[in-house]
Amino acid sequence: MKSAGGAAVHTAVSYATIKRMKVYLHSIGCRLNQSEIETLSRQLLAAGHEIVPDPAQADQVVINTCAVTAEAARDARSLTRRFHRQNAAADILLTVCYATIAPEKLAAVSGAGRVVPNSQKENLLHILDPQAGAALPVYEQEPVLRAYLAGSSGRTRAFVKVQDGCDNRCTFCVTTVARGAGRSRPLGDVVAEVQALAAAGYQEAVLTGVHLGSYGHDFGSRAGLKELVQALLAHTDVPRLRISSLEPWDVAPGFFGLWQNARLLPHLHLPLQSGSDAVLRRMARRTSRASFRALVAEARAAIPGLNLSTDLIVGFPG
């Protein structure tokens, strides 16, 4: 393989010896799932494989499943059957949350092949292509990736996973079971990945995680996300940076001051889940109507033109 400039690039794999796979990737659910499927796409491209736009063209299909709602679980089963009807010869690999919560049920679906839980998802590249070796962080594959990144998905926005797992115990959520305890990526790794994306032409990086606001807590830093954003603004050239969902109780003092930098887009997603304090207590949410209202007022005062979104659960059974 050659880089964009034509120079030969050395990789851990000899392209003369690998079997080139055609892979179709599909993600259900959250931005974190989307981030993980995009990372796998870049790893596969760097290993010499092809990402195809239609499951009918694929040797291998990968579905990132979701378990946050019954509808998402049904989607995983329905898509597995549909893709199998479209291409019975393709191997269908199912992974992440629903594959972790209900692996036997998913494996029993017509057309299902390998079921890979969250605990093994970091090895997906090796599972799909044993010749590629263990999966490498995206930044270690540069400059092999640079020729692919900008045009690999036809997008200018990249979802960057900075954290996985959750230490909250919200009573309506299975994420802790599916994803485990909170775990943060090293700050330097995230900075290097975002800079590689910027060098490849991406115009926007979206920071994602299951419990994004807890970033760095496992390192002993209570202001970890603030420090990460400051580092990305100081040490990368990405034109736009976006923060995805933040729990209201995770906003550190002075956090909204980060938006003095125009590269940080004026958007916040602060999930409330209920407008009733009694229901919030039953949900084990560490917020209240009054504290949420005060936080929103603080955000609007600090961030001109703020676009604010939230989540509300209707019909909570608890």
Nearest to residue 252, comparing CAs of 216, 223, 231? 223
Contacts of 130 (CB under 8 A, 6+ apart): none
Assess whether the previous peptide bond of 55 is cis (omega < 30° from 0): no
* Residue 67, in any domain of the structure: yes
Residues 189 and 119 in one domain: no
pTM: 0.77
* Residue 17, in any domain of the structure: no
Residues 274 and 160 in one domain: yes
Whether 77 shows a pLDDT value over 50: the answer reads yes
Residues 116 and 215 in one domain: no
* Residue 314, in any domain of the structure: no
Task: Give the per-residue pLDDT at 122.
Answer: 87
CATH number, position 297: 3.80.30.20
Residues 273 and 172 in one domain: yes
Residues 196 and 156 in one domain: yes
* Residues forming beta bridges with residue 269, ordered by sequence position: 245, 309
For 186-203, how does the pLDDT look when each residue is reduced to its tens digit (9 = 90+)? 999 999 999 999 998 999
- State the residue range of the domain holding 158: 138-309
Residues 296 and 173 in one domain: yes
* Residue 315, in any domain of the structure: no
Residues 154 and 264 in one domain: yes
Greater model confidence, 223 or 28: 28
Q: Where would I find the H helices in the chain?
A: 31-46, 70-86, 97-101, 103-107, 124-128, 146-152, 175-179, 187-199, 224-235, 277-282, 289-302
Residues 84 and 213 in one domain: no
Looking at this protein, which amino acid is placed at residue 257? G
For 249-289, how does the pLDDT look when each residue is reduced to its tens digit (9 = 90+)? 999 999 999 999 999 999 999 999 999 999 999 999 999 99
Query: Of 132, 147, 172, at which residue does a domain stop?
Result: 132
Q: Where would I find the H helices in 117-249?
A: 124-128, 146-152, 175-179, 187-199, 224-235
* Residue 13, in any domain of the structure: no
**Parallel, antiparallel, or unpaired: how do β-strands 50-51 and 22-27 relate?**
parallel
Our count of domains for the chain comes to 2
Distances (CA, A) of 286 to 8, 182, 229, 275, 303: 54, 17, 24, 13, 24
Query: Of 132, 160, 185, at which residue does a domain stop?
Result: 132
* Residue 9, in any domain of the structure: no
Residues 99 and 150 in one domain: no
Q: How would residue 139 be classed by pLDDT, with cut points 50, 70 and 90?
A: very low
* Residue 16, in any domain of the structure: no
Query: Of 97, 132, 167, at which residue does a domain stop?
Result: 132
